[in-house]
Amino acid sequence: MRGGPDDAELARRAAKGDSDAFGELVDWHAGSARRVARTVLDDPHDADDAAQEGFLAAWQAIDKYDPRQPFAPWLLRIVINEARDLRRRRVVRTTTSIPLSVEAPGQSPEAAADAALIGDRLRVALAGLPERQRMVVMLFDAEGWAHAEIGGLLGIPDGTVRSELHHARRALRQSLEGLWKERS
């Protein structure tokens, strides 16, 4: 399972009130927590809020963590629950975020526009997947988790993880297929 230098020891120290130890856990797992929350929520600010709420809930429940088990799945389950709760509570927003356009050094304007188009299409395609498929794709392809690790986190069998990954990738290929034809 993915984890920090010694998650179990840091969690033990945190359970005894060592906030610095918990801070190390937060530092180590913050990126994964935000990415997982982002797969549940469409808004990066909401995802950051959910990750923060998840860390707060984990800090409050750290004494319930079993150090014999991997820390990351325990934490990410909390973050996923916080993200789902936030999604249920949030009010429909009337604003949209303004995309940032930053040109990479040495990249032509055409290449930058192509990259932005591909990124936008990929985000739309991912958003169109069911939540569990988005989660599986993100954890497997972006985070590098194994099928068994993902199954343990999501509470589903390895075979279901493989099936969800297959269906998600097929749907993404179909969604992005037109993009390659447009660019030819």
Please write the tens of the pLDDT for every residue from 41-69: 988 899 999 999 999 999 999 999 998 88
Rounded Cα gap, residues 111 and 132, in angstroms:
33
More confident site: 14 or 112: 14
pTM for this model (two decimals): 0.65
Q: Is the pLDDT of residue 115 over 70?
A: yes
What is the CB-side half-sphere exposure of residue 135 using CA atoms within 13 A? Answer: 27
More confident site: 89 or 71: 71
Q: What is the pLDDT of residue 42?
A: 80
Q: What is the pLDDT of residue 95?
A: 44
pLDDT band per the 50, 70, 90 thresholds, residue 182:
low
Q: What is the pLDDT of residue 94?
A: 40
Residues 6+ apart with CB under 8 A from 173: none
Q: What is the pLDDT of residues 88-107, one digit of tens each?
A: 887 544 444 545 555 556 66
Q: What is the pLDDT of residue 1?
A: 45
Alpha carbon separation from 65 to 34, 42, 81, 181 (Å, rounded): 20, 29, 16, 50
Residue showing tokens 């906030």? 19
pLDDT band per the 50, 70, 90 thresholds, residue 36:
very high
More confident site: 114 or 99: 114
Across residues 104-114, what is the average pLDDT?
Answer: 70
146: region left, alpha or beta (phi > 0 left; psi from -120 to 50 alpha): beta
The whole-chain average pLDDT of the chain stands at: 84
Q: What is the pLDDT of residue 181?
A: 62
Q: What is the pLDDT of residues 119-155, one digit of tens each?
A: 788 888 888 999 999 999 988 988 888 999 899 989 9
